[in-house]
Structure 1
Amino acid sequence: MTAYDTLPDGVTEIFGAEATAEEAYGLLTVDVPAGSWIAALEIARDKLGCTYFDWLSAVDEPGSGFRICAHVVSLGEGRVRRLLVRTTVPHSAPVLASAIDVYAGAAWHERETHEMFGVDFTDHPHLVPLLLPENFEGHPLRKDFVLAARVAKAWPGAKEPGESEHGGPKRRQMLPPGVPDPNEWGPLKGQLPPAPARPARTPRAAGAAGAERPARAAG
């Protein structure tokens, strides 16, 4: 049995007392404090055999901070064993040690994470923009980043086609699934009336549901 096979139960013995681990959908995930980030990656590489670096990115978790995730893989012994190592840095100080001395392939991923989320990776030798155009302002994958398109034209429209510019209060179109309410997010936050609730479906009347169809006329 390898050290990898003792996880998640043996996470504290391998990664330290403050580490936690869980396995879901076949992916083993280990969470460590930010101060143990580099040590955890070294353990994953040297003790668990995860020598293949796959990717590194972040998730903006409101109320918690930026969760940094590194996905590494062990390809030894004819088995593919995956490991997700995570840590969290606060929104107020998004700083984390660079992992390039452990996994050289993390260099470009840290550059992308830096420009998309604003996380600073200390000791990175070339932390410059990778994907965004020159002079781009802000970090577009942060939850508080307001899209320019929403500033130019609010979505959805404050009134429906055919409604007058004057008269009663303006109506708002219903929000499709997965779209945030612009009254709670974006440049019009707090300025719009509540979105209308979807009307409840009423069951058919019992008599109508059980009524027999009229007999067809003989041809």
Structure 2
Amino acid sequence: MENSGPSREDAEEAIRGRFGDEAVISDAYGQLTVDVPAALWTAAAEFARDSLGCAFFDWLTGVDEPPDAFAVVAHVYSQTARLHLLLRTSVPRERPVLASVTAVYRGAEWHERETYEMFGVEFAGHPRLEPLLLPDGFEGHPLRKDFVLAARVAKAWPGAKEPGESAAGAPSRRRVVPPGVPQDWAKPL
């Protein structure tokens, strides 16, 4: 298949021409990455689709970046230019609201619902922002780093044994509290 879209260098130049200093262009794992302010999120998605030919929407997710923010990342792709593009923005932790890109990429609807449910990032203008995966009545956002995994307190972690817990009789040591569990929840098993 012949490459008929913009090259990576042309894409970078076009992004700089459209967004100037408001967009930070970098490389993440060999992919062109563009960080934009939350106010330009929808404009960046439209630009990627219309000007760079990134009509293929792959995925969108959140990233918890304590103590102040959540990042939202979307991966789009141009099949003609074979150009991978990561669009990223950041929303404040105290009010995580971002414009929905479902009008730009219809496939973002499910991903925005999942990000809303798992991280608590609201997508303004989303056609149906409601729970998707968790059971009715579930409280909290389980992919936030401050979410306490109560199951780790109720029963032993099923992973590899800690030193001193093997049947070989190795010397024991103080039991380590699993990540996300407050110290006062810890109890001997």
Task: Return the TM-score normalized by structure 1.
Answer: 0.70
State the SS of the aligned residue for 1:93: coil
Question: Structure 1 residues 20 and 133, CA, compared in 2 at 3 Å: closer, same or farther?
Answer: same
* 1:29 alignment partner in structure 2: 33
* 1:202 alignment partner in structure 2: none
- Is this contact kept in 2: 1:117–1:142, CA < 8 A? yes
Ranges in structure 2 where 5+ consecutive residues have no aligned partner = none
Question: Structure 1 residues 151 and 190, CA, compared in 2 at 3 Å: closer, same or farther?
Answer: closer
Tell me which of the two structures has the higher relative contact order, counting C-alpha pairs closer than 8 angstroms and 6 or more residues apart: 2
| Identity across the alignment (%) | 55
Partner Cα distance (1:42, 1:32) in 2: 13
* 2:99 alignment partner in structure 1: 97
Q: Deviations over 1:105-156 (max 9, x none)?
A: 1001100000000111011121111111111111100000011212324768
Partner letter of residue 29 of structure 1?
Answer: T
Partner Cα distance (1:143, 1:72) in 2: 26
Partner Cα distance (2:116, 2:93) in 1: 13
Question: Structure 1 residues 137 and 6, CA, compared in 2 at 3 Å: closer, same or farther?
Answer: same
Q: Deviations over 1:79-129 (max 9, x none)?
A: 421100000001101000111111111001100000000111011121111
1:32 to partner: Cα distance: 0.1
Whether 1:39 and 2:34 are equivalent positions in the alignment is: no
Partner Cα distance (2:136, 2:186) in 1: 33
State the SS of the aligned residue for 2:76: strand
- Is this contact kept in 1: 2:24–2:34, CA < 8 A? yes
Ranges in structure 1 where 5+ consecutive residues have no aligned partner = 163-169, 174-180, 193-219
- Is this contact kept in 2: 1:53–1:106, CA < 8 A? yes
Partner Cα distance (1:25, 1:184) in 2: 28
How many aligned positions are there? 175
Partner letter of residue 111 of structure 1?
Answer: R
1:5 to partner: Cα distance: 2.9
* 1:117 alignment partner in structure 2: 119
Aligned equivalent of 2:146, options 144, 151, 156: 144
Partner Cα distance (1:53, 1:189) in 2: 45
1:2 to partner: Cα distance: 2.7
* 1:58 alignment partner in structure 2: 62
Larger radius of gyration: 1
* 2:71 alignment partner in structure 1: 67
* 1:16 alignment partner in structure 2: 20
